[in-house]
Amino acid sequence: MEAYLSFNGNAAEALAFYAKSLGGKILFSMTFGESPMGKDTPDSHKNKVMHATLEARGKQLMASDLPPGMPFNGYKGFSLSVQATDVNEGEQLFKALSEGGKVTVPYAATFWSPGFGMLEDKFGVPWMVNVAHPQT
């Protein structure tokens, strides 16, 4: 299962931020203007992302900007979760993703993990960063 995020006109900026924060790369990106329906796309959306795929940490995240006429209602009822291999990596991921955003649960040790935190990134997307507890 993979997540697909819809953005309010800033998908390209968000994907570049995620690629940098997560050490990933954008595998594919097509604008509405580059698509087969490009000639019928309003000028305001020609350079907006119709579909893109980012690969990071062995996973894929897909995204697009909303098409013309579709309202953006924010993100509710989910979080993207990224697993770190150790506390230091988790802290780096948390700091990178929370840059310009809002920390909702500070990164710290918990009863289930040596490092866990929750945030809303600068695009409003909710994230959880978790370090797997070492098996004994």
CA atoms of 4 and 127, how far apart (whole Å): 14
Report the predicted TM-score, pTM, of the whole model to 2 decimal places: 0.93
Residue 135 — very low, low, confident or very high, per pLDDT cuts 50/70/90? low
Task: Write down the pLDDT at residue 82.
Answer: 97
Domains present along the chain, CATH in parentheses: 3-65 (3.10.180.10), 80-131 (3.30.720.110)
The 10s digit of each residue's pLDDT in 20-72 is 999 999 999 999 999 998 889 999 999 999 999 999 999 999 999 999 889 99
Task: Write down the pLDDT at residue 1.
Answer: 87
